Amino acid sequence: MKNYLLAIDSPDPDNLVLVRLAQNLLMKKGDTVNVLLTGRPINFDTESKPDLETWNYDHSRMALTASAARLKNFLRSFDSKINVFDGGIAPRTLVPHHFHFQDYYKFLDIDPLRSIAVSELDNIELLADEIKDDEFTVLVGGPMTGLANLIQRFPKVADNISEVHAMYASLGTVKLLDLGDAPRGAKQFNVACDPFSGKYVVDALDCPIYFITSDCTREDKIAFDTPYELRDLLKDNPGNRNLINLYNIWYANAVEPRGDKIFIHDVCVAISASEHGRKVYDFTPMEITRFPTLPAEKEDWGVIEFKENPRSNLHVSTKVKNPALYKSILREQLY
């Protein structure tokens, strides 16, 4: 039996899809699901474009705890229980603080009391104790903050990691986000939010690592124009009805205003780690030639440069080979 650790961020609904898909694709019914949840740095008191380097720690912790409640509640609608551990707050964000206000405040899908229940988020020490004796695969759907914290505080855990699958980096063929200022270009959100932890994890691990880039996860062939198009693909059940409700909120406040489509980014790591991985994604062995993290390189934080190397333990996806199989997996495994 394989063990898995899901290191994700919040509040995007695709993180919820990742957890449920990982359960059905990779785990046996009744297996313990351990999630390491990382939050974003925010400030609830900001109404318009702020200085992104200034944020409120207490507000960020409140949002992280509420996101843990949302995640647990989502899985309850599938009659599933999970453990959610504290992965800390990423040090940076590329998204203005007001961008997610509707997501953090409109908790229509959960009991308001649960949204502030500290008990929904367990200490990382408990996670380290639970996985100290087992080999496990890590699925990363966000910045590497939580995984780096885990390895730094409990170095022996690194010896137990058999492989890592991460929604990470960009080859530069897509723009990640354009909010009216300079496009991010080859910068990738998960890298830019915490390049320091990302470089630490890559340097610390000798196991196989698989990067599924934004170039893959933003392909139009696997996008959905509206939540209704996604609804029509998925099976009708209480969990998916809850999911579509969240995507309606997400679409109205974070997708439609900038004329974008729905891309379920983070689900790629569950597919990559499954028997379908090499059928859906095309991987090339590469080594990292540049990973900016120094203060003088600040303008390039979020950029990773590669070159091909057949002996590298890092494998980078270059395209989605089978979009139809990707959508079939979503339909058949989200139940």
Range(s) of the domain holding residue 289: 3-333
CA dist 60 and 108 (Å) reads 20
CA dist 321 and 267 (Å) reads 16
List residues bridging with 319 in a β-sheet: 282
User: Crossing angle for the helix pair 13-26 and 57-76, nearest 10 degrees?
Assistant: 40
The secondary structure element, H or E, covering residue 215 is: helix 214-217
Q: How far is CA 159 from CA 44, 133, 135, 204, in A?
A: 40, 10, 8, 10
Per-residue pLDDT of the chain (335 residues; tens, 9 = 90+): 689 999 999 878 899 999 999 999 999 887 888 999 999 888 877 665 556 677 889 888 888 888 888 888 888 888 888 999 999 999 998 776 666 655 554 555 556 555 555 457 899 999 999 998 889 999 999 999 999 999 999 999 999 999 999 999 998 765 544 434 443 347 899 999 999 999 999 999 999 999 999 999 999 999 999 999 999 999 999 999 989 988 988 888 778 888 899 999 999 999 999 999 999 999 999 999 999 999 999 999 999 999 999 999 999 998 899 999 999 999 999 99
Q: How far is CA 199 from CA 205, 215, 244, 289, 294, in A?
A: 10, 20, 35, 12, 11
Q: Record the pTM.
A: 0.91
Number of domains in the chain: 1
Question: 197 burial class (0-12, 13-18, 19+ CB within 10 angstroms)?
Answer: buried
List residues bridging with 282 in a β-sheet: 319
CATH number of the domain to which 207 belongs? 3.90.245.10
